[in-house]
A and B are shown apart, each in its own frame.
Chain A
Amino acid sequence: MTRYIIRRLLWGVALLFIVSALTFVLFDLLPSGDPAKLRAGRTATPQAIAHIRHELGLDKPVYTQFFDYMKGVVLHFDLGYSYYSHAPVKSLIAERLPATVSLAVGAIVIWLLVGLSVGIVSAVRQRTLIDRTAMGTALVFISAPEYWLGLLALFLFASDIGKLAVFPGAGSYVAFSSEPVKWFTALILPWLVLAASFAAVYARLLRGSLVEVLGEDYIRTARAKGLPERRVVMRHGVRSAITPIVTVLGLDIGTLLGGALLIEVVFNIPGVGRLNYDAITHADFPIVQGTVLLAALFIVVANLLVDISYAFLDPRVRFK
């Protein structure tokens, strides 16, 4: 098992390297604003732009820039400096991370509770009205774009612009450490909106998986033992059906920690996703590089954890 983990970590590092290189290359190739020009402003002289360019190190060849960057990351954990705000990327990301994590964790809890219960009920009451309604509703939430749902939620429930002033509007996020209650209420709508489509996906996934499992021979054996149906469904059925869900969950968590961009933008939450979005519009490359690297890291780790957990969930899996 340790051999397996070491091997996966090595691959993970290699992957991160490749991701960084790719981002670098893409940024170089794709047309975007010239950071020096953007930084200098509209009325800057060519000399001023050239000066800024040199300051930012943009006049060096691409591979030198990449090499310097990687050296900084590996040796000093230094992710560079933002072109736009002249602050270290590392600290910018660090101060935005708690918001993203708050958003992610809350959403995850909600969508697991809702999605899994709906999935189980649907599977057990297969083809009844409950099942059909639930799956139909789920389909609606999967199809609806996140930002649309977010705007709709604000339009209906936000205290400033909504029809029913129930929850705080966009931009009301505060850190947990300063005002816990306000932190909580400000996150309710974003949580619900973010959780909605995920819950729908998980409900459908679990329903499908559980329906298949409930047709297996060992479920019949469990019933033949005279076990109460509830136990058969949960300890025998869901126990087997949950494994594909865990895989998906790991990846979703990994992705979300990298920043739920659309939700953060719609609800104006100062998280890593919002940071990324702003940086892109300013061609603030170091920040983008940093957030991409962070997102990739989360996914690699999440992947590894999911694969390890699989061995605990399914004893038939062996590490090679």
Chain B
Amino acid sequence: MSDPNSDRGRGGVAAPEGQLDGDPRASALLRVEDLRVQLPTEDGLLGAVDGISYELHAGRTLGIVGESGSGKTVSALALMGLNPKHARVSGRIDFDGRELLALDSQQLRALRGDELAMIFQDPLSSLHPLHRVGWQLVEAIRAHRDVAKAAARERAAELLDLVGIPDARARLHAYPHELSGGQRQRVMIAMALANEPKLLIADEPTTALDVTVQAQILALLARLQRELGMAILLVTHDLGVVAEIADEVAVMYAGRIVERGSTEQVLTAPSHPYTWGLLRSIPRLEGGAAGHGPASRAPRDSDRGAVGELEPIAGRPASLISPPSGCRFHPRCPYALPDHARIDPALAPLPDDPAHLAACLLAPEERTRLWSKEERARLGSDEERAHLWSDEERTRLGSDEEPARLGDETHG
């Protein structure tokens, strides 16, 4: 039986679609089955979340990745029961043996802030501006534990200490606007951890923070996870963040999960054109797609474009009120075939890795081939790129770089 705390690359949790009850190993802390959230709007019924399923075990981190309009935040709010009143939520959410959607508001409130906690994106607007930090922490504690104020204040100071805020006792008297962005997020984390939750949901926790602070917060979350053994559901648009701390990742598009698997697998051998699109539209710190690397400055007598341009995903995000027929991604997919406008693919496991699933109508072998072609293009090989760009652009490009072979782990 695998130790959930060891060895990130394992990913052996997500059982194939439809077999969520069958895992003989440790049962999942959180099991989401066919979750749907619909929001009535003036223009019609908006299907923000349209049938997603996943599992999360204690001590593990699942990253839910998507752009705006993918439904990732709405799905996270659904777990906590924090969607707006007029939202229609259906499906199953099994948390530690309880069916969350069947609970009444009182029972759900008992769980919120206790076993199930959430932190949000902007810590300045997510903390009450007119109450001191200590007051807000004490409130979080006393909402679920019958303790005296003094004892709660002690605990609050302990929590601030735990999240790495120096001079914790003095900080209790501070107002949120008197703290820095990083400190505020730590306070939010402290508040969420006040009652030692089993599951922490983090909605874009570092998006509003500087990159160095982001690194600290992510390290903090990882450390707290190890110390407290809690599960983390991390919602983000940033693949880098997912790469840093998530064990598994689910990629969402237009209210659905289009790919799911271990972080390592999904980011190095993705099997869905949307994931490919995301990966090739992100500028990297290392490797190919260097904007103005030495190669592009080689003297030439005609101006030419730089090596490895980012390739944005064509088209616009899908409408959630009237989504495209068939495969929802097909209008933007460079590999779509006419059939794809009619058939809606289900999430299916890859033949060589049952823990890695993708919802695509192309055959898995075909996808593997396409991905290696994409990779070679991104890393700068002329012949491969010829198939993806027009002639005109090809004549402008030139590469002095030797393409790295796949599987060549040379990054340091």
Contacts and interface: CB of A to CB of B under 8 A. Distances in A.
B128 A226 contact: no
Interface in A41-83: none
Highest count of chain B CB atoms <10 Å: which of A226, A228, A315: A226
Contact of A218 (B112, B128, B140, B192): B128
B130 A314 contact: yes
A268 to B, nearest CB: 45
A227 B139 contact: yes
Contacts of A223: 82, 112
Contacts of B191: 221, 225
Interface stretch (B114-122, B152-160, B255-263, B345-353): B114-122
A225 B112 contact: yes
Interface in A246-279: none
Given A226-B111, A226-B112, A220 B128 contact: no
Interface of B: 80, 82, 109-114, 117-118, 120, 122, 125-131, 139-140, 143-144, 175, 177, 188, 191-192
B129 A316 contact: yes
Given A217-B120, A315-B175, A222 B82 contact: no
A261 B117 CA distance: 57
A72 B51 CA distance: 83
Find the residue from A216, A221, A228, A239 having the highest chain B CB count within 10 A.
A221
A227 B82 contact: no
A227 B191 CA distance: 13
Interface in A267-316: 313-316
B196 to A, nearest CB: 14
A218 B82 CA distance: 13
Contacts of A314: 129-130
Q: Which 4 pairs show the lowest CB-CB distances between chains A and B?
A: A226-B113, A226-B112, A225-B113, A217-B125
B209 to A, nearest CB: 16
Contacts of B131: 236, 239
Nearest to A225: B113
B130 A224 contact: no
A220 B112 contact: no
Contacts of A224: 80, 82, 112-113, 117-118, 120, 192
Contacts, number: 67
Contact of A226 (B120, B127, B143, B175): B143
B92 to A, nearest CB: 22
Contacts of A216: 125
A313 B80 CA distance: 31
A23 interface: no
Interface string A88-123: 000000000000000000000000000000000000
A313 to B, nearest CB: 7
A226 B114 contact: yes
A8 B111 CA distance: 51
A226 B129 contact: no
Given A216-B125, A226-B111, A316-B129, 19 more contacts: A218-B127, A218-B128, A220-B120, A221-B120, A221-B128, A224-B82, A224-B112, A225-B112, A225-B140, A225-B143, A226-B109, A226-B110, A226-B143, A236-B128, A239-B128, A239-B131, A315-B129, A315-B130, A315-B177
Contacts of A20: none
A240 interface: yes
A23 to B, nearest CB: 41
A217 B203 CA distance: 12
A218 B140 CA distance: 13
B122 to A, nearest CB: 6
Interface centre among B125, B127, B130, B175 (most CB of A within 10 A): B130
16 contacts: A217-B120, A218-B126, A218-B128, A218-B129, A221-B191, A223-B82, A224-B82, A224-B117, A225-B143, A226-B110, A226-B113, A226-B143, A227-B139, A236-B131, A239-B128, A314-B129
A217 B122 contact: yes
B130 A239 contact: yes
Nearest to B188: A221
Given A240-B130, A316-B175, A226 B125 contact: no
A218 B143 contact: no
Contacts of B127: 218, 221
Contacts of A226: 109-114, 143-144
B89 to A, nearest CB: 15
Given A315-B175, A316-B175, A228 B109 contact: yes
Contacts of B122: 217
A225 B139 contact: yes
Contacts of A218: 125-129
Contact of A313 (B109, B130, B175): B130
A316 B179 CA distance: 12
Nearest to B108: A226
